[in-house]
Amino acid sequence: MSYQVLARKWRPGTFAEMVGQQHVLQALVNALESGRLHHAYLFTGTRGVGKTTVARILAKCLNCDTGITVTPCGECGACAEIAEGRSVDLIEVDAASKTKVEDTRELLENVQYTPSRSRYKIYLIDEVHMLSNHSFNALLKTLEEPPPHAMFLLATTDPQKLPATVLSRCLQFNLKNMQPEQIVSHLEHILAEEAITAEPEALALIARAAEGSMRDALSLTDQAIAYGEGRLQGVEVAEMLGTVDRGRVLDLVSAILDEDPAAVLQLVAKIAEHAPDYVSTLDELSSILHQMTVAQMVPGAADTSWPDQARIVELAARATIDDTQLFWQMAVSGRRDVHLASSARAGLEMILLRMIAFRPAAIIHGDNAVGVPPAKKPEPPAAPVESRGEQAAGQATLQAAQRSETRAKVSAFPPGKGDTPSDVEGEAHNEAGRGPSRRPELHLVSKDGPAASGANEGGENDIAPRSVPTLSEFTTECWPDLFEQLRFGGILHNIALHLELSERAGNALSFAIARSDAALLNDRHEAQLTQALRQQVDSEIAATIVVNDHHGLTPANRRAAIAAARLAAAEQAIARDDALHTLMRAFDGEIIPGSIRPTAVDVDHQEIDPDPEQASEA
C-alpha cells in the first residue's frame, strides 16, 4: 500500500514543526541547550496531542550524529532509524500489552549494557499507567538511579493511576488540548501542500469534532477527503460527522427570537429528516448562543473561524444579554431532558418551545455591545375591573376562612393582573431602576364574606387605597410613617429602614444613617434612593445619604416600637386570662419566657385595631 495516512505522513520531525505545546517545548529546548538533562521524563495529556511525538523528537535530539542539539538533522543514521522505527537503541514499549512484572524485568535486564551505536539507550514506555503494581515496583529502583547512558521517556493519558513514587522520580509535562484555531491553521497548511481544496466551514467542523486532538483531526480529514472525492465541503463534512447543519441551527435561533413556535417545529422537522443526534443539535445551539453572548459583551473577542460569524453578530443584535444567557442555560441543562423524554425529538422540541414560553417579558439591561436591543413582547392585556374584583374577593374570602381569629383580611393585587399574593410581593420588591413599581390595590374582606369591588354603602369596613405621599409631607417626624407607603427593593430596602430624614430643602432630601447600620452602604445607593423616590412621589427629588449620628427617628425604630407595644399588650392579655391560669394550675403548667407572640394582623406593619368582641374573648 503506497498511500500513507496524513497523521503519519505529517507527524512532526522537529520541535519547530510542532503545533502548540510551547510550554513543553521551551523547557526541553532550554534543557538541551544548557545540558541539564534529566534521566526520566513523563508526558501526559489526552489522545492525539503529541506525547509520543515529543518523546521521539527528544530521542532524535539526544542521539543525532551531529551531537546533542535542539535541531536534529533528520538525515543521519540515528535520525533515520528513529523516524522509521527501527533504532535498536530506542526501545519502544506498549505498556498496555506488557503489563506483567516478568515483561518489566526482562526489559530492565539489558539496562546496564551500553547502547549499540547511539549516544543514549532510550526507553519509551507508552500508556505507562497500564503497568501492574508489581511492574512499577520492579521499575522504581532503575527509574531513580539508571546508568548514565540510559534514559526513560514515559507517556500516559491517565497520570492519576501512576504511583506517587513513580511521579516523584520523573519530570512531568502536561500537554494541552489543541485550540480549534490551531487545528484549522495546521489543516490549511497540510491541505495546501496536498493540493486539496477545502471550505473554511468544513475545516471548522473537523476542528471542533476533533476535540483538541490533532491526530483525530487528521484522521477525520482523511475520511472527509474520501467522502468528498478529494475535496472538503461544509455540507458533506457535516453529513459525514452526523452533525446538524449550522445554518439550520441559526434559523432556529432566529425563530426563537421571533417567538414563532410554528417555524421552530418546521425547522425541527427538516433537521429530523437527516436523522441527526439531537444532543449534538443542542450542543451546536449552545455554542451559537455562547458566541452571541461574546459578541454582545466583548465584540472583538468573537470567534472568526466561522464563515457565518456575520449572521451570529446580527442575531446577537436582535437579542438582549438576558435572552442569550437564559437560552444558553436552557440548552445546556436540557441535554438531560432529551434522554428522559419519550423521544429525543420531543425533548428537543420542548426545550426550544420552553425558550419562547419563558423569554423575559421585560428588558432588564440597556443597550448591549452590538446594538440597541429590540422591544420585548408586550405585557398581557389588563383584566376587566369586574374580573379583578371577583378574583380579589375570592382570594380574600379563602384567606378569611383560613384565619378566622381576625376580623379583617387584606388582599393586595396589582392593577390589571390577577396574580397571587406571592406574585404581588415579588412585584412590590422590584429593585429601583427597573421601572416604576406597581402599587397594589387594597380590598377589605370581612369574616362574613367578601366586600364589593366598589365602595360599600356602609363604608364602615372599607380601607381606602393608599394615597401617594407628596413632597411636603417629608419631615423628620413623618418619615418613619411615610416609609410604610413606599416600596424599596433588595438591599436598598434594608438601608432605607435605618435612615433618618435630617433635612428637606426644596427638592433636596438629606438622610443620615448611623455608622453601625452603614455596613452595606455604597456609592450607588444614593442614586437608587433618588430614583425610587422620584418614581413613587412623582417629584424631582434629590436624595443624599450621610453617615452620621442621629436621633433615632427611623422606620426600623418605629417598627421595633410597634412590635414591642404589641408584645406588651399580648403579655398583658395573657396575664389577665383567668381561664388560662386555671388550666396552668390544674396541669402544673408554666409560660415559657419569650414564647408569647402577638397575633394581630397588620397592613404594612401598621396595627389594625382588633374587634372589641374578639379582644374580650381573648
Please report the pLDDT score of residue 578 as a whole number.
87
Please report the pLDDT score of residue 276 as a whole number.
73
Please report the pLDDT score of residue 278 as a whole number.
84
Mean pLDDT of 450-456: 38
- Residue 105 pLDDT more than 60? yes
Domain regions of the chain by residue span: 6-174, 180-241, 246-357, 385-450, 471-553, 557-617
Mean pLDDT of 438-456: 38
Nearest residue to 473 via CA among 549, 546, 536: 536
pLDDT digits (tens, 9 = 90+) for 167-222: 999 999 999 998 888 999 999 999 999 899 998 888 988 988 888 899 999 999 99
Instruction: Provide the CATH number for the domain formed by 246-357 in this structure.
Output: 1.20.272.10
Please report the pLDDT score of residue 367 as a whole number.
45
- Residue 422 pLDDT more than 80? no
For domain 471-553, give its CATH number from 3.30.300.150, 1.10.10.10, 1.10.560.10, 3.40.1350.10.
3.30.300.150
Please report the pLDDT score of residue 467 as a whole number.
65
Tell me, letter by letter, the H, E, C secondary structure of 199-266: CHHHHHHHHHHHCCCHHHHHHHHHHHHHHCCCCECHHHHHHHHCCCCHHHHHHHHHHHHCCCHHHHHH
| Stronger pLDDT, 296 or 387, i.e. the higher one | 296
Lowest mean pLDDT among 56-70, 237-251, 404-418: 404-418
Lowest mean pLDDT among 87-91, 112-116, 340-344, 464-468: 464-468
Please report the pLDDT score of residue 362 as a whole number.
52
pLDDT digits (tens, 9 = 90+) for 315-366: 988 888 888 999 999 999 988 888 888 888 899 999 999 999 988 765 544 4
- Residue 31 pLDDT more than 70? yes
- Residue 536 pLDDT more than 70? yes
Q: Per mean pLDDT, which of 106-120, 146-160, 478-492 is the most reliable? A: 146-160
Please report the pLDDT score of residue 186 as a whole number.
93
Share of the chain above pLDDT 70, in %: 78
pTM for this model (two decimals): 0.53
Please report the pLDDT score of residue 246 as a whole number.
78
- Residue 52 pLDDT more than 80? yes
Name the grid cell of 536: 413613587
Q: Which residues pair with 603 in a beta bridge?
A: 606
Q: How many residues does the chain have?
A: 618
pLDDT digits (tens, 9 = 90+) for 548-583: 888 889 999 999 999 889 888 888 888 888 888 888
Q: From CA 349, how far away is CA 347, in angstroms rounded?
A: 6
Mean pLDDT of 132-145: 88
Name the grid cell of 352: 426550544
CATH class of 6-174: alpha beta
Please report the pLDDT score of residue 381 as a whole number.
44
Nearest residue to 204 via CA among 284, 278, 301: 284
Phi, psi at residue 15, to the nearest 5°? -65, -30
The b/e string for 93-107 (b: 16+ C-beta within 10 A; e otherwise) is: bebeebeebebbeeb
- Residue 255 pLDDT more than 90? yes
| Stronger pLDDT, 383 or 25, i.e. the higher one | 25
* One-character DSSP codes across 86-123: --TTEEEEETTT--SHHHHHHHHTTTTSPPSSSS-EEE
Looking at CATH, the fold of the domain delimited by 180-241 is given as: Helicase, Ruva Protein; domain 3 (1.10.8)
